[in-house]
Chain A
Amino acid sequence: MASDKVKTFTDSNFDEETKQGVVLVDFWAEWCGPCRRIAPIVDQLATEYDGRAKIGKMNVDENPNVPTSRFHVRGIPTLVVLKDGELVDTIVGLVPKEDIVSAIEKHLG
């Protein structure tokens, strides 16, 4: 899978990486079973939206600040869509790929 197109967001690079354009962030952790089901979809989206939207993952274990303090994540998988740094959509739990696609499409110009 083309997972090299998937960005890795961290507490330190988050603001810089997400300040422009449409960004999808997948909050996940190793121990989260359902996150493993979202992962291949996120991989596909990274290829499909290459150059149009930034698709990335953020490990909640390794990044204590952005997921819980800023986005109040209390369960994973949680996906958020940002536009120019602003939160515009939140998807909680397992959803079909189409739902994620439409959340991204809605905010692409």
Chain B
Amino acid sequence: MTTAAHGADREVVIIGSGPAGLTAALYAARANLRPLLIEGLEAGGQLMLTTMVENWPGFRDGIMGPDLMTEMRLQAERFGTEVVQGNVTAVDVRKRPFTITLEDGRTITTAALIIATGASARWLDIGSDRKLSGRGVSTCATCDGYFFRGKPIAVVGGGDSAMEEAVYLTKFASKVTVIHRRDTLRASKIMQDKAFKNPKIDFIWDSEVIDVADLEKGEVTSLVLRNIKTGETSHLAVDGVFIAIGHTPNTSLFKGQVELDASGYIVTGDGTRTNIPGVFAAGDVQDHVYRQAVTAAGSGCMAAIDAERYLEGLPSVDETTDLASNATV
């Protein structure tokens, strides 16, 4: 077993359990690499926060996001993927084999690593929004919309997810005000049309949220807005605010070890390869362009194939004692 795993506990470890991680696990398992997949805190990834997914090929009537992720996980497990719950607290890819530390203190060594840690919702960076999280500030309409039945709320952002959230929230809220920094939306035409023709949705253009009140009461009562063009500030009375201003890649574990771009995304080239031979990245953690479940799954498949080829090129343990210097493709 040690020989098969090139002197490590595992041949391949995958961090992350969204479409990228689970597809990588499926392919690695079918290649007899007995992958270990570490779920991470936000197990199942962003699709766990959605309702109906209408653009996953093969489901013409759509499929619920959490159901799709359950199926993917069971499929990966069926072929021998071992899934570990919990979060990774440290990764060391400077030495071979690579070492991964889990939150319970356990460490695992691996010959190849697939990073599929995804991206998480961005906050406003004004402090008061995070402090009122769960008290009227939310980044998940499907989780929290229910609590705002018959109440006025706001959605911050101008992309597809902001429009999706706004439309979804009209099921509960008395009124939804979309606050956007520009005077046009970034969202796709189909989502814009849905939002514009919904009578419950209003727009405030060219404006940003500079504060969320009321910290003292511990709940959201209003927003302070600033018009970017005129500099004027105004107040908007709402019971809740949903933030949909994009995502940040979950790469803090790899800072200083794996090459990241200016926005913190992992840089990949020649498929899913990172600057460290044996470390591959798939899904939203390395993609700020497409960010779709199906593209994440596709790159997860690529990462598994890239990892398999990398492992095939490694010398077996009895041929060499110095893995570090020889571990290149």
Give the interface of A toward B (CB within 8 A): 29, 31-37, 40, 60-61, 68, 72-76, 78, 90, 92-98
**Complex-state Cα separation, A31 to B143, whole angstroms:** 7
Contacts of A96 in B (CB 8 A): 41, 86-87, 103
Of the candidate stretches B131-139, B194-202, B223-231, B310-318, the one touching chain A is B131-139
Among B74-107, those with CB < 8 Å from A are: 85-87, 103
Q: A94 contacts B41, CB within 8 Å?
A: yes
Interface of B is mostly: loop
Give the interface of B toward A (CB within 8 A): 41-44, 48-50, 65-66, 85-87, 103, 133-136, 138, 140, 142-144, 146-148, 218-220, 240
Q: A76 contacts B218, CB within 8 Å?
A: no
Closest Cβ–Cβ distance, residue B126 to chain A (whole Å): 17
**Complex-state Cα separation, A74 to B221, whole angstroms:** 13
A74-B240, A76-B144, A98-B103 known; A93 and B66 CB under 8 Å? no
Contacts of B136 in A (CB 8 A): 74
Can you give 9 A-B contacts (C-beta < 8 A)?
A32-B142, A34-B42, A37-B44, A75-B135, A75-B147, A92-B134, A94-B41, A96-B103, A97-B103
Closest to B103 in A: A96
**Complex-state Cα separation, A35 to B49, whole angstroms:** 10
**Complex-state Cα separation, A68 to B103, whole angstroms:** 32
**Complex-state Cα separation, A93 to B123, whole angstroms:** 14
A33-B49, A33-B66, A34-B143 known; A78 and B85 CB under 8 Å? no
Contacts of A97 in B (CB 8 A): 86, 103
Q: A32 contacts B41, CB within 8 Å?
A: no
Contacts of B50 in A (CB 8 A): 33
Count of inter-chain pairs, beta carbons less than 8 A = 72
**Complex-state Cα separation, A72 to B219, whole angstroms:** 8
Closest Cβ–Cβ distance, residue A75 to chain B (whole Å): 4
Contacts of B66 in A (CB 8 A): 33, 36
Q: B49 contacts A34, CB within 8 Å?
A: yes
Contacts of A75 in B (CB 8 A): 133-135, 138, 140, 143-144, 147
Q: A93 contacts B146, CB within 8 Å?
A: no
Contacts of B86 in A (CB 8 A): 96-97
**Complex-state Cα separation, A5 to B251, whole angstroms:** 37
Contacts of A76 in B (CB 8 A): 143-144
**Complex-state Cα separation, A35 to B134, whole angstroms:** 13
Q: B143 contacts A33, CB within 8 Å?
A: yes
**Complex-state Cα separation, A106 to B324, whole angstroms:** 45
Contacts of A37 in B (CB 8 A): 42-44, 48
Closest to A32 in B: B143
Residue from the list B43, B44, B48, B138 in contact with A74, Cβ < 8 A: B138
Contacts of B41 in A (CB 8 A): 94-96
Q: A33 contacts B142, CB within 8 Å?
A: yes
Closest Cβ–Cβ distance, residue A16 to chain B (whole Å): 26
20 further A-B contacts with Cβ under 8 Å, apart from A33-B48, A33-B143, A34-B143, are A33-B49, A33-B142, A34-B48, A36-B66, A37-B44, A72-B135, A73-B147, A74-B134, A74-B138, A74-B144, A74-B240, A75-B138, A75-B140, A75-B147, A90-B134, A94-B41, A95-B41, A96-B86, A96-B103, A98-B103
